[in-house]
Amino acid sequence: MADDIIFELLHSEIINYSIEKFKNNDNGEKETDLSVVEYIGFAAGYKIMERLTREWPRFKDELDTMKFICTDFWTCIYKKQIDNLRTNHQGVYVLQDNAFRFLTNFSNGHQYLEYAPRYVAYTCGLIRGGLANLCINSIVTAEVQSMPSCKFHIHVQRT
């Protein structure tokens, strides 16, 4: 009964712990360091991708890989699929989730909006780690305009 919420609780405590531990008291600005949380997501995404793609046939191209991320990968972790995938076919993809699991418990609008970035950092790392294991180097950022909907921007680095 409480199974759904366990991951969310663990995730919010990881965020709280990392922010408290790595708080830089020297500079007066209120800057939160999220790189540790992003790296935790990266390592997790990297390892989970190996297990997830075991039974899956080979991906035809990059778009196929992105569709896999939107369906299977998201379903495995967040129990739902990405609602909208857009691309410009030049290596930029936008994944939109209208009910992002970590943000649904916050608010239904603009309350607590300034705290939203810390709750999507882990997921940015997760996507980046998963793609890195599939040999796609990318930069993943997130944009939250109104809760609980969230957009992830993926820029694929093509050398």
Query: Which residues are at the interface with other proteins (CB under 8 A)?
Result: 46-47, 49-51, 53-54, 56-61, 133-135
Closest CA to 97 of 46, 146, 157, 27: 146
Closest CA to 152 of 79, 102, 107: 102
| CA dist., res. 44 & res. 19, Å (int) | 19
Q: How far is the CB of 47 from other proteins (least distance, A)?
A: 5
Show Cβ contacts of residue 145 under 8 Å, excluding neighbours closer than 6 positions: 151
Q: How far is the CB of 68 from other proteins (least distance, A)?
A: 9
Q: Which residue's CB is nearer to other proteins, number 68 or number 100?
A: 68
Q: How far is the CB of 65 from other proteins (least distance, A)?
A: 8
Which structure tokens are listed for 42?
A: 């990266």
Q: Which residue's CB is nearer to other proteins, number 52 or number 120?
A: 52
Partnered with residue 151 across adjacent β-strands are: 96, 143
Q: How far is the CB of 103 from other proteins (least distance, A)?
A: 28
Q: Which residue's CB is nearer to other proteins, number 28 or number 57?
A: 57
Q: Which residue's CB is nearer to other proteins, number 58 or number 89?
A: 58
Which structure tokens are listed for 48?
A: 């989970």
